[in-house]
Structure 1
Amino acid sequence: MTRSYRAGDTVPYTVTFLEMTARPVYTWPHTPNGMSGALLKAEQPPVWYFRALYDAVGRDYAWTDIHASEDDDIADWLNSPDVALYSLIDKGWPQGFFLLDWREGTACELCYFGLVPESVGRGLGAWMLRTAILTAWEREGVNKLTVNTCTLDHPRALNQYQKYGFTPVRQENRTRVLVRDWSPAAT
């Protein structure tokens, strides 16, 4: 039975930091069966669009950190030439997204990655993750790709990152005060 939490509850969680120090040997993935849409790079995305994707993907995983950021700060970040937001659009609506950040020069961070709940289990996640990884490595001079996940995220997230070439490098135990009611996602 999954426990439910109320806004104001403190929940413990563990963050796992992962990295990849060489471009993987796998090739670009084939589009999943049944997908008729496209992965689109957002050009100067408005803050509201990023926040909508963030909420749609992260609601089930207690993603709320970005809400503490000011719109101007998010806009500056999103509009940096070294940051790229990709949206997976299928059947006319966003199915998921990923965000890459190359501002550290030779390292790229996969800052955000995920699917909306209605799209989980359709084979889109593995395809999109491989695409995100290979897109990150396309930038000249990149010698490391990083990502982090936590025990509040989808239960298969850590395994998926490792399956596609990331290696855990450290963990941190943290707590979070929930700002809205939350039930952990099922596997």
Structure 2
Amino acid sequence: MTIQPAGTEVGYTVTWLQMTERPSYDWPHLPANQSASLLHAVKPPRWYFLSLYDAVGRHYAWEDAHDRDPQELQSWLGEDKVDLFTLMGDGWPQGFFLLDARSPEVTDLSYFGLVPEAVGKGLSTFLLRTAILTAWQREGLRVLTVNTCTLDHPRALQTYQKNGFTPEHRKTFKRILKRPRNLALIPD
């Protein structure tokens, strides 16, 4: 079965990771034959964030942001220490990341991902390393955190580790899908 209908109970494991020092790699270059720009959205409207969130996460059961109070979500997006960056290529969003630095000395890579049409073009390493190095530019940063789960892209955990994150702990959960999940559309 490649479709998990809304209402299906699924089990998943969340892994929390961290990085305690700036990695030694340099700022990445775009892959050959790719042109894109990274745009910083200043106090973006909720609809903009949710459109990126859905475009990236619809096949990975990213549903939680839709449960947040709309005013609370908008307030969070408008915080000075919450930064949303969109990778634009060919005139449309290819992916995004969001950094939340509201905690002293800690920044969380709260969201990261590519839209399905951008997967496999070599953009993941470019975008992730850009997110990591952007976070480490913050004065006083001591810990960069991220989490991923087994509902995310199959290589998400491996990608975070390859780029310098270390797993700290894991926990298993269950959830009821609110939207259908087409497993056949999850890119390799």
TM-score by length of 2: 0.96
> Any idea what SS the aligned residue of 1:80 has?
coil
Segments of structure 1 that go 5 or more residues without pairing to the other structure are none
Distance 1:117 1:46 in 2: 23
- Structure 1 position 5, deviation (Å): 1.2
> Any idea what SS the aligned residue of 1:180 has?
coil
Equivalent residue runs for 1:27-106 within 5 Å: 27-106=26-105
Identity value in percent: 55
Number of residue pairs aligned between Structure 1 and Structure 2: 186
Offset from partner CA, 1:16-66 (integer Å, 9 cap, x none): 000000110111011222222200100121110000000000001010000
Q: Please name the residue that 1:178 is paired with.
A: 177
Contact 2:119/2:187 (<8 A) preserved:
no
**What is the identity, as a one-letter code, of the residue corresponding to 1:152?**
L
- Structure 1 position 135, deviation (Å): 0.3
Q: Answer yes or no: is 1:125 the counterpart of 2:124.
A: yes
Distance 2:63 2:100 in 1: 19
**What is the identity, as a one-letter code, of the residue corresponding to 1:33?**
A
Distance 1:3 1:89 in 2: 30
Distance 2:4 2:131 in 1: 32
Q: Please name the residue that 1:20 is paired with.
A: 19
**What is the identity, as a one-letter code, of the residue corresponding to 1:16?**
T
TM-score by length of 1: 0.97
Contact 2:38/2:87 (<8 A) preserved:
yes
Distance 2:130 2:87 in 1: 11
Distance 1:37 1:128 in 2: 11
Segments of structure 2 that go 5 or more residues without pairing to the other structure are none
The RMSD of aligned alpha carbons is 1.0
